[in-house]
Structure 1
Amino acid sequence: MQRRIQELESELGRVPIKQAPAQKPPVQLAPSLLDPFATHKEDTVTTSTKLGGTFHVHNESSECGVGREGGIPRSVTHKTRVFGQSHWINGIVLFLGIPSLIESHFRGETSRAVVGIQRCKSLARTIKFQRRPAARHLPPIPDLPPKDVADSLIDCYLRTIESVYRILHIPTFRRDYDAIWSSDTPPNTAFMVQLKLVLAIGAAMHDTKFSLRTSAIRWVYEAQNWLSDPAFKSRLNIQTLQISLLLLFAREATGIGEDMVWVSAGSLLRTAIHMGLNRDPSFLPTRSFFEAEMRRRLWNTILEALVRTSLLSGGPPLLSLSDFNTAPPGNFADEQLTDDDSTPAPDAEFTQASVAIALHATFPLRLAVTKFLNDFGAHGTYDETLRIDAELRTAYRALCHTLQGYTSSTGPTPSRFALRVIDFQMLRYQSALHVPFFGPSLKVAAYAYSRTVVVDNSLRMWNIVCPASLRAHGAAAEEEGEIGRDDLSRLAICGSGFHCAVSMQAALLIAVELRTQLQEAASLSPPTLRPDLVAAVEENKAWLLRRIEAGETNIKGYLLLCVVTTQIDALTRGLEKEEMLRLCLEAAEESEEVCFPLLEAMVAQGRDGGGDSGILTGLGTPEGGVEDWEFMVTDALFELGGVDGMSWMFGQESGQGQGGPLPW
């Protein structure tokens, strides 16, 4: 044996030793991922005004120049918050000329404009205080409205939000709902919370004045309080996920912490991952067909909520396609889910899940858009923007083709609400890609395509929220219920969040385009503006006033648009700077004079126990009557330091009630 070992050693010694091949260098990561600022020089523009406070606009040097003309706004810092590129505040640089025009006149604390702003903010704080529920009534109580009203609110929800985002199993929900009215057995608390959130969302579309706002706010507070109970493990179930999703939509509908929904959506995502919803049920222990399909539906809706809130808030989605393998929902009608032998309908056949399935096909691209705009170190080039734009348009055309195939069939078809909401969303994703280049495009011809996309999409989004058929009827439309029969228009008027903020941004971008056209005009004859753009801005101003009449307490969006439209009119007439200044100041003062009586009426209504107090005469009105709800505690459940679509712009931050400056 020893001799054999020696022979082997001798043979090994005669074998030439090969050098190990040189190790290939690792794949080079993009410099922006290794160090986001390594090759991207940023130019921060700081603006501070009496009405706006201090804002830091972080511009990136572009291929076409540096600074305001060629720099691309990548984010905005305000107080303790940083807003990514998809947040509409990145357009703040487009309004820096207005404060420089009238800043000196607003420095005086006794000016009519400043006094008017303070008066309106004081009333707004009082109204919010009156609307908040008493702490002792925060636990869920059976204070349902009469059955006919509750039926109407449920129908509002089912034909709108549920038609796009699948959350509930409708037959099960209706069975449990009917049992509440027909049985003496106390209802399940979790279902009562779920039901009240459905009612709260439906209330935002019940009428054009949001007459049930006070009840809807209370229902949302009850749900948030119930979810905050520390019984975490016992609530890791499908019903709690449904309640959490409904709460996101209800907060937007009622304007309760709607600006911080992105934070809550992230928490919900992690809860769902903890429960394994990011793994397709086929890879998990055996579950019923019903549970497997509901998990797919809920995961899909959670993904939709995540990218939607990311787009609105300017926050990164913090998710990638490699984080899940859950398949999209199957094309089943709700009634089929209780039959384990059910087979999905053909793709061309419309079911209650078809809209969600069609929209899901575009999810990878929409996720890519939010990551491209809002991820840390996002410094996408214009060429990359155009590439994603082309891919998004292709996906949009395919989506339209799919949905149009359903509408041309003789069977069930998608609701008008669903079609318009999807159209609105896809246009918003396209527009968000180009808004960072909109400011530079006003002076740099290389970005002209972005200018066209932003203006055209803004006009199209406005026409979706406020169709021509409603505008043609004017004030009579509301009287005759024309607007009332349009669920999306009602939601945009009475609700908060996505549709409201995007519609407001669309009007401001159109206003900037009009102002720029006037400043670019080189002609001896009066300039001619596109009538449809002018009409859109004026209509948006009237729309903002309708929102205040429906219970919105923040008047500053209306004030801003009044000043901007006045400036456009002055430029059209060729007025001198001093005359323009005088008219802008008058516009600000007049807007406050219009809004102040509306806010006063809201305060009086709350003081007299008005609002929707008379509606709580259905199941289990709270002991002591609704007057108990008038005395409220601080908004501890929702005091997240958030800022809504417009209020922070004027220093009127949600839940804090302290007035502050406005950046225009």
Structure 2
Amino acid sequence: MTDPEVPEIVECPARRTRRRSPKSCEQCRKRKLRCDRGLPCRPCKRSRGALQCSYSPNTTRDAASSSEAPRRASQYASNSEGQADVAIVLDSLKFGREQFHSAGYHPPGAGDQAKNNNANNSSSDLFPRPQIRVGTLETDKTRLFGRAHWVHALAQFNLIEKLQFLGPTALNGLQEGMASLCREVASRRSSLKHHRTLELNEPLPGLAGTLPPKATCDQLLSNYWRFFEPIFRVLHRDAFDEEYDSYWAGSTKPSTGFILKLSMVLGLGAVVHQDLAESGRIRGLAKSWLYAVQWWLMGPMEKTARCLDGVQTFCLAVLLRQASSLGGATSISTDSMMKLAMSMGLHLDPDGFSVYGPFERELRRRIWHTVLELTVMTSLDTTLPLLITPDDYNCRPPLNLSDAKFGPNSEEMPQARSSVSGFTDSSTQLLLQKSLVRRLYAVRRMNGIQKPLSYEETIELGKELKMQCRDIASFFYSRMSGTEDCDDRDACEFHRKFLDSYLRRYILFLHRPFGIQARKDPRYHLARKTCLECCQIVSSHAAGLILPQKVTDEFCLMAIRGSGLFKGPLSQDVVIHLGLEVVTQLEEERGLRIPGEPATPTSCADPLIQMSQAGRQPLIDTLRHILGQLRQIIALGQPSCKRYLLLSAAMVHIKELEAGSSNPLPAALSQLTECLQDCSELLRLASADYSQPVTDSDPAWSDEVSPDWSDTLGLFGFDFDLLVG
């Protein structure tokens, strides 16, 4: 009988042990590194030994655990038509240095279907994808090849897979020999190109020496981070600040891409700089910086700009040209920027490229949507057809994350915040992105050669954009009223005015053709009313502009110095339509009088006429205020005379109509003559002030920098004499 207190001892069978098959590549096992089981794996890519990355015959690779590594070429699945659904990103085939590397592209969400096709359909090996990597984003050049490119035909041969019969030892030796030959060919190729090509190490020699002192750069950089970067996401703040600090510390030699990006950032910061003299000096320098950027982007060595640095610099250059009224064919530059971005595959969602880390994926999404926004904005301003549709890209919007939450070394992205839960560095861009598809459609219909939008379509599209304006107002109201934490109210107010003016610009352009027809056809009265509302709201943003007093509103500063959209409440579109509305009301009022009767006190006693006069008086006051500010802007040295001349003539026309004149044209022409004389005198005085030598305690500014860059810029081929409007 056994004791219940003592448990019965049961003999266990001998434990069977077995040696697990290795999963890492042979190179990582020797170096004792963590392998992601790719082919080639990430550690081998970083060591520039991707061609030597190999696995022993008894290696088992867990496909499920290597989600961020590319699969073997023969394991890629074909689509339903039997053709490979693939877009290739290749480096520039710099043998040895870039080692003939690229990466396959998988449409996001198609991974599970591809795995099933691999398991059930052996024909997937008929169209293998090349198994090559993409180099480091900040240094290596990348290029996207479509299905018609010869590299797809080359990929079908899949040389490495076909040589597996040689065995691992012979194959590894062959790969090592190929790597050695690649390095030799790269060296000879670079030497030959160096002798045949005129290389320009610095687009503008001594550009770094023209940058202002660090204290000034810090202020301008802060302006950029506060006002421009939240709307047009181009840079990662922490990563850029790290390079910026290293540049001033002198610890590392800055790259050409960084210097050019910094110069564009400083130029944008100067647009909203409070010190008018300092701002004018920096913006004068920015003209030369912009020339250097354009030379680097589209000069003889334009292939060096085929990288993220190049696209970022391109975006900043397009922004600077418009925000600082530097003129030129902006639409041509924007089209080139779009082509450069698409050649690098930015229009494809980065989740389909397994070689990109979390940081690179998020940065590519931000930059692509900025490229899209700038392209749509330029097409709207120039009225040229938009050459892209939503069907041409599948890159998803960026995450709602602040830059401090992730960086270049992040292994995974943190949880993104919803638009309701809080504000981040990307919230403003995402707020604007919500209406992107509708605005793409609106611009294509307005500027295309196809059948224009009908009145019903215009009203419906306008309603959707009005709702977006309401969402923008609600978003910023919640931030500034205390519901959300707002640490920079000036920046929030700038963003609110900018986004509101931007979207109402679309609404105005959509309704304007029908609003003009409403003068004779009352069926379009709603379009006329909508145009008037848009212009009144946008023009109200200039209420705080009271020159020649100091301007403290950054949005008004941008309106003074910008062009196109960046003119905001001072744009021709607002001025012309407000004037047209007043003239239309006066013509309607004249219809209430007896034909030929002047504006006598008896006729003006009509209550309906009195109501009409009271209703248009705020519009006349707004136009009179804008007219005075446009004259002061010319006196400041801004050669923008077109709006001043048009509005002066319109105000005289309105005055003559109010007096009952039947022919206001002679008075308007006389006023134009006087205004031309006034503009000539104002510009003469501004030129005299501008030609005075610069005095500054800093020798870097007093000896070398001059605010008059017209002679120098003439050598660069820019015609800045036509900067009107």
Q: CA deviation at 1:603?
A: 2.5
How far apart are residue 517 of structure 1 and its match? 1.1
Work out which of the residue numbers 411, 430, 433 in structure 2 matches 1:340.
411
1:445-485 CA distance string (max 9 Å, x none)? 11111110111111111112x13xx25xx45xx53x4x2x2
Task: Supply the distance in 1 between the matched residues of 2:655 and 2:209 (Cα, whole angstroms).
Answer: 54
- Aligned partners of 1:148, 1:357: CA distance in 2, in Å? 32
**Cα shift at 1:141:** 3.7
- In structure 2, what is the equivalent of residue 94 of structure 1? none
With 325-334 and 541-550 compared, the bigger mean Cα shift is at 541-550
For the structure 1 residues 263 and 531, does the alpha-carbon distance in structure 2 shift closer, same or farther, using more than 3 Å as the test? same
| Structure 1 vs Structure 2 CA RMSD | 2.8
- Given that 2:582 and 2:620 are in contact with CA atoms closer than 8 Å, whether structure 1 keeps it comes out as yes
Identity across the alignment (%)? 26
What corresponds to 1:595 in structure 2?
679
TM-aligned CA distance change 1:635 to 1:361, over 3 Å: farther
Could you report, residue by residue, the CA deviation over 1:260-292 in whole angstroms, capped at 9, with x for unpaired residues? 222211211111111111111111132111111
Q: Residues 268 and 320 of structure 2 are in contact (CA less than 8 Å); yes or no, is this contact kept in structure 1?
A: yes
Write out per-residue CA displacement over residues 73-111 of structure 1, whole angstroms, 9 at most, x where no aligned residue. xxxxxxxxxxxxxxxxxxxxxxxxxxxxxxxxxxxxxxx
Q: Is this contact kept in 2: 1:142–1:621, CA < 8 A?
A: no
| Alignment match, 1:226 | 296
| TM-score of the superposed pair, with normalisation by structure 1 | 0.69
Structure 2 partner of 1:550: 636
- Assess if the C-alpha contact under 8 Å between 1:256 and 1:638 holds in 2: no
- Alpha-carbon distance in structure 1 between the residues aligned to 2:718 and 2:374: 19
Tell me: CA distance 1:184–1:402, structure 2 relative to 1, closer, same or farther (3 Å): closer
Counterpart in the other structure of 1:443: 520
Task: Go from structure 1 to structure 2 and tell me whether the alpha carbon gap of 1:171 and 1:557 turns closer, same or farther (over 3 Å shift).
Answer: same
Q: Distance in 2 between matches of 1:624 and 1:492?
A: 30
Query: Is contact 1:248-1:265 (8 Å) kept?
Result: yes
Render the CA deviation track for 1:636-658: whole Å, top value 9, x for unaligned: 55569x987x55xxxxxxxxxxx
Match of 2:356 among 287, 296, 319: 287
Q: Name 1:194's counterpart in structure 2.
A: 261
1:371 aligns with 2:447: no
AA aligned to 1:367 is L
Give 1:397 shift.
3.2
Q: In structure 1, the residue corresponding to 2:348 is in which secondary structure? A: coil
Q: Secondary structure of 1:166's partner?
A: coil
The range that moved more, 317-326 or 335-344, is 335-344
Question: Counterpart in 2 of 1:518?
Answer: 586
Amino acid at match of 1:340: E
Report the counterpart of residue 191 of structure 2 in structure 1.
Answer: none
> What do residues 299-337 of structure 1 show as CA deviations (whole Å, max 9, x unaligned)?
111111111111111112211111111110101110122
Deviation of 1:231 after TM superposition, in Å, equals 2.5
* Structure 2 match to 1:355: 428
1:551 positional shift: 2.4
Q: Which amino acid aligns with 1:504?
A: Q
Equivalent residue, structure 2, for 1:272:
341
Corresponding residue number in structure 2 for 1:429: 506
What is the CA–CA distance in structure 2 between the aligned matches of 1:637 and 1:353, rounded to whole Å?
38
**2:274 partner SS:** coil
d(CA) in 1 for partners of 2:638 and 2:715? 17
Bigger relative contact order, structure 1 or 2 (CA pairs below 8 A, ≥6 apart): 1
Structure 2 residue aligned with 1:631: 711
Tell whether 2:553 aligns with 1:493. no
How far residue 393 of structure 1 moved from its aligned partner, in angstroms, is 2.6
CA distance in 1 between counterparts of 2:650 and 2:687 reads 29
Q: In the TM superposition, what whole-angstrom CA distance separates every residue of 1:570-606 from its partner, at most 9, and x where no partner exists?
A: 11111352xx444323322322232222211232244
Task: Give distance in 2, aligned partners of 1:285 and 1:359.
Answer: 29
In 1, the alpha carbon distance for the partners of 2:203 and 2:369 equals 37
Matched, 1:391 2:492: no
Label 1:501 to 1:314 Cα distance change in 2 as closer, same or farther (>3 A). farther
> Which residue of the other structure, out of 481, 506, 518, is the alignment partner of 2:574?
506
Counterpart residue identity of residue 539, structure 1: H
SS in 2 for 1:207: coil
Aligned to 2:650: 564
Counterpart contact for 2:690–2:707, Cα < 8 Å = no
Letter in 2 for 1:420: K
Structure 2 counterpart of 1:519, one-letter code: E
Aligned partners of 2:463 and 2:453: how far apart in 1? 15
How far apart are residue 539 of structure 1 and its match?
1.5
Q: Once the 2 structures are TM-superposed, how far is the Cα of residue 181 of structure 1 from its aligned partner? A: 2.2
Measured in 2, the distance between the counterparts of 1:456 and 1:587 equals 29
Question: For 1:452, which of 529, 546, 566 is the aligned residue?
Answer: 529
For residues 510 and 178 of structure 1, the distance between their equivalents in structure 2, rounded to whole angstroms, comes to: 49
Kindly indicate whether the alpha-carbon contact (under 8 Å) linking 2:312 and 2:367 is maintained by their aligned counterparts in 1: yes
Q: Shift in Å at residue 384 of structure 1?
A: 1.6
Alpha-carbon distance between aligned partners in 2 of 1:615 and 1:191, rounded to the nearest angstrom: 27
Q: Count matched residues.
A: 494
- Is residue 296 of structure 1 aligned with residue 369 of structure 2? no
Whether the 8 Å contact between 1:205 and 1:490 is mirrored in structure 2 is yes
**Counterpart contact for 1:431–1:453, Cα < 8 Å:** yes
Measure the CA separation in 2 of the matches of 1:282 and 1:389: 34
Matched, 1:307 2:376: yes
Change (3 A) 1:630 1:388: closer
Determine the C-alpha separation between the residues in 1 that align with 2:326 and 2:710: 17
What is the CA distance between 1:389 and its match in structure 2? 1.7
Alpha-carbon distance between aligned partners in 2 of 1:512 and 1:218, rounded to the nearest angstrom: 40
Deviation at 1:164, TM superposition (A): 1.1
Matching residue of 1:75: none
Q: 1:219 and 1:207, CA in 2 relative to 1: closer, same or farther beyond 3 A?
A: farther
**Equivalent residues of 1:208, 1:493 under 8 A apart:** no
- Deviation at 1:359? 1.4
Question: CA 1:227–1:237 in structure 2 vs 1: closer, same or farther (change >3 Å)?
Answer: same
Kindly provide the amino acid, as one letter, of the partner of residue 619 in structure 2.
L
- Secondary structure at 1:530's aligned position in 2? helix
**Runs of 5+ unmatched residues, structure 1:** 1-134, 648-664
SS of match in other structure, 2:452: coil
The DSSP-based 3-state class of the residue aligned with 1:256 is coil
SS for the counterpart of 1:352 is: coil
